[in-house]
Chain A
Amino acid sequence: MPFQEIKLYQAGTFVAGNRLLDPEQRSVQARTGRSNSLTSGHRACQGCGEALGARYVLDAAMRATDGKLVAVNSTGCLEVFSTPYPESSWQLPWLHSLFGNGPAVASGVAAALRATGRDDSRVVGQAGDGGTVDIGFGALSGMFERNDDVLFVCYDNEGYMNTGVQRSGATPPGAATATTKALGPEPGNVFGQGKFVPLIAMAHEIPYVATATVAELRDLEYKVEKAMSFHGARYLHVFVPCPLGWRAAAADTIKLARLAKESGVFPVFEAEHGEVTEVSRIRRQVPVEEYLRPQGRYAHLFGDPGRPDVVARIQARADRNIARFGLLGEGDE
């Protein structure tokens, strides 16, 4: 099918209106037949990036598997806001076990589907950054190295938001959390710590690793569908702003996700078998300050007198991402 030219008619955005597309090219969310896997009525905060991300991820995965999907959820915001008994927002088979075992539970589900002759059903595991990069990391690495047929999705909001905004291994330097407050001579989370699990996932040489943000939901859907075209272990790391934990306006979730990508703070890319295959280039580079300022967790960097030295260190980290992943591209236009 020849690719249809898209008219970018909405000033100031990069989003194509679905109404201008052929039905076949509309997003999963724009289709009348979407599965609403995480349906409305749940108790996520206003502007929750994770709820938005999970809805797009699961509906895209449902479409890719023709509705043959099982979800496994680690403990966290997503589990809590979706299922206070006896209500459930899940319209697909869904299992929650513990905080630190989501990847292993998902492996068990995949094994059972094979063993009982239901190979046509697939498994998505999902967790926040705490359940992925910290307490669930051993199980995640085990699932990766065994190359179990699981897509594991981390909704990264950079801290333990469900329990009062504590620091996780994915909390960025400089950010204030309940355990890294803006106190003392080095306010906020320290530099030189933390981990970026997509790169660790790539080190397992699993078939597919990708990052995405909730600012580019078509890209997120594309990556989910692509992930489901592979068998074996796959990892998707979705950047999901948290208005509560970041002390940001609920209306700014998409904007912050976009600024994270456009500043180089969060690199968006795909990798297959340990090699980067595609990078989402920065369209209009912005200084990190533009990303940091709207967030209360960085407020201590912009007071009087402020900490331009810390902002500069965060800029240096973004610049390193830009150089490392080629986010501006070669001979950029």
Chain B
Amino acid sequence: MRSQLEGSQAVARAVALCRPQVIAAYPISPQTHIVESLSDRVRTGELAGCEYLLVDSEFSAMSACIGASAAGARSYTATSSQGLLFMAEALFNTSGLGLPVVMTLANRAIGAPINIWNDHSDAMAMRDSGWIQLYAESNQEAVDLHVQAFRLAESLSVPVMVCMDGFVLTHAFEEVDLPTQEQVDAFLPPFVPQQLLDPDDPVTIGAMVGPEAFAEVKYLVHATQVAALDEVPAIAADFERAFGRDSGGLLKRYRLEDAETVVVALGSVLGTIEDVVDSLRDDGFRIGVLGITCFRPWPHDEVRAALGDATRVVVVERAFAVGAGGIVGQNVRDATRGLPVVVQDVVAGLGGRPITRTSLRGLFEDVVADRLDASHLHFLDLDVELVQRELARSRARRRSGPHAEHMLRDLGTVASGTPHGGG
């Protein structure tokens, strides 16, 4: 059924259709309307038999999901940003134990400075946690990915994180085609756990493992993720047969035929990038887009095949490894090793800064004309003068004070007072 829905509400409805049995959530750090909406559905009895735990933190939210999943319940939570990092230890534990928890991550920035807006710093910080990471381009895809995520998680006994851009998707109203309960029930069988805390057949879960087998247990976690490289497209194909929609999968290929330049990106920015690429195509540029839907596991071979004919790749990413460079870019460079292709990293849209068509067009024109120095990490729309002025203040005085306040004052964002550091 087609409805005009806020992204969070659409996802809440999709999650409810998947019949979760235990939901544990913490409201802040920050959170979305998803868990509020699910709370309503549990209270009204629409989500019959579901236990909803209002926990004391994200760490407890994921911990409760660990216990619930090990005890045989389909378990779900949602979080964002700082909340995801507060879960960090439990995330690694979930994957190490092989528990099929599903989580929505509304992608938002990580402080300091504190900032509630969208970027991918949270998900990228947890990219090695052993969770499968799927990135939604639209709210429709967010809905579809959740239905697929439960099946994927439970078929492989692996936790799955569905990433959707905070605000850009979670708070945006879009037309969404929600599946019916009958459709979802037919697609997603009841949860049959691989391991179960059962008094009638007791097992020990979470035993200590020494050097004699630790690597082997961890290898299995890796092998499961590698298996997901087959399972993700298989489930997407099944989904298309059942729901008549192409959603999910490993990669999204857009106008890649004969493309010399390929833009690689994840999430909602793909729509904007595709618009810009359309206009460049109209002007005769051979440019295309490769969207990464499945970032973990990393579809190395598929990315390599998709970029095999390109000469230039520009990765537009909403996060970066401080002191090192692009994160997705590093993976793309690894996938294209030995190919005659130059991979550029461009950091864009940090902390909710809009990624505009104008800026992207300018960037892609620079890339196509080989005006971008591939030896540097680039930041789209960076206010270089603002940075230079603050660096000068820091040089002028040892105790120059906090950067963030100076730069906001410099921009006139906060009321001006006597600057700590002097000008």
Indicate whether B63 reaches chain A with its CB closer than 8 angstroms: yes
Chain A at the B interface: SS class:
mixed
**Bound CA–CA A63/B240 (angstroms):** 52
**Bound CA–CA A68/B70 (angstroms):** 16
Residues of A with C-beta under 8 A to B46: none
**Bound CA–CA A72/B210 (angstroms):** 21
Q: Which residue of A lies closest to B203 (CB)?
A: A93
**Bound CA–CA A90/B51 (angstroms):** 28
Is the pair B207, A88 in contact by a Cβ cutoff of 8 Å? yes
Is the pair A115, B51 in contact by a Cβ cutoff of 8 Å? yes
Is the pair A115, B206 in contact by a Cβ cutoff of 8 Å? no
Is the pair B56, A93 in contact by a Cβ cutoff of 8 Å? no
CB distance from B67 to the nearest CB of A (A): 3
Indicate whether A226 reaches chain B with its CB closer than 8 angstroms: no
CB distance from B29 to the nearest CB of A (A): 13
Chain B, range 199-213, C-beta contacts under 8 Å to A: 199, 201-210, 212-213
Indicate whether B310 reaches chain A with its CB closer than 8 angstroms: no
Partner of A116 from the list B72, B208, B210 (CB cut-off 8 Å) is: B72
Stretch at the interface among B89-97, B159-167, B178-186, B273-281: B89-97
Per-position binary interface string of chain A over residues 114-132, scored 1 when its CB falls under 8 Å from any chain B CB and 0 otherwise: 1111000100000000000
Is the pair B66, A108 in contact by a Cβ cutoff of 8 Å? yes
**Bound CA–CA A69/B90 (angstroms):** 24
Chain B, range 377-417, C-beta contacts under 8 Å to A: none
Residues of B with C-beta under 8 A to A142: 55-57, 60
Is the pair A138, B60 in contact by a Cβ cutoff of 8 Å? yes
**Bound CA–CA A93/B201 (angstroms):** 7
Interface residue count for A (Cβ, 8 Å)? 47
**Bound CA–CA A139/B89 (angstroms):** 14
Most buried by B among A92, A100, A142, A146: A142
What bracket does the count of chain B residues touching chain A fall in?
35 or more
Given A85-B213, A138-B56: A90 touches B202 (CB 8 Å cut-off): yes
Given A70-B199, A101-B60: A108 touches B208 (CB 8 Å cut-off): no
CB distance from A257 to the nearest CB of B (A): 27
Is the pair A141, B203 in contact by a Cβ cutoff of 8 Å? no
Residues of A with C-beta under 8 A to B198: 93
Given A68-B199, A84-B208, A90-B202: A97 touches B66 (CB 8 Å cut-off): yes
Q: Which residue of A lies closest to B217 (CB)?
A: A85
Chain A, range 2-57, C-beta contacts under 8 Å to B: none
CB distance from B164 to the nearest CB of A (A): 24
Indicate whether A323 reaches chain B with its CB closer than 8 angstroms: no
Residues of A with C-beta under 8 A to B67: 72, 95, 97, 104-112
Residues of B with C-beta under 8 A to A67: 199
Is the pair B97, A97 in contact by a Cβ cutoff of 8 Å? yes
Is the pair A79, B208 in contact by a Cβ cutoff of 8 Å? yes
Indicate whether B50 reaches chain A with its CB closer than 8 angstroms: yes
Given A85-B213, A92-B199, A100-B59: A108 touches B71 (CB 8 Å cut-off): yes
**Top 5 A-B pairs, shortest CB-CB distance:** A108-B67, A142-B56, A96-B206, A108-B64, A112-B73
What are 8 of the A-B contact pairs (CB < 8 Å)? A85-B207, A93-B196, A94-B203, A94-B205, A100-B89, A104-B67, A111-B64, A112-B68
Given A94-B197, A101-B63, 8 new contacts (CB under 8 A): A97-B93, A104-B64, A105-B63, A108-B22, A109-B67, A110-B67, A111-B67, A116-B21
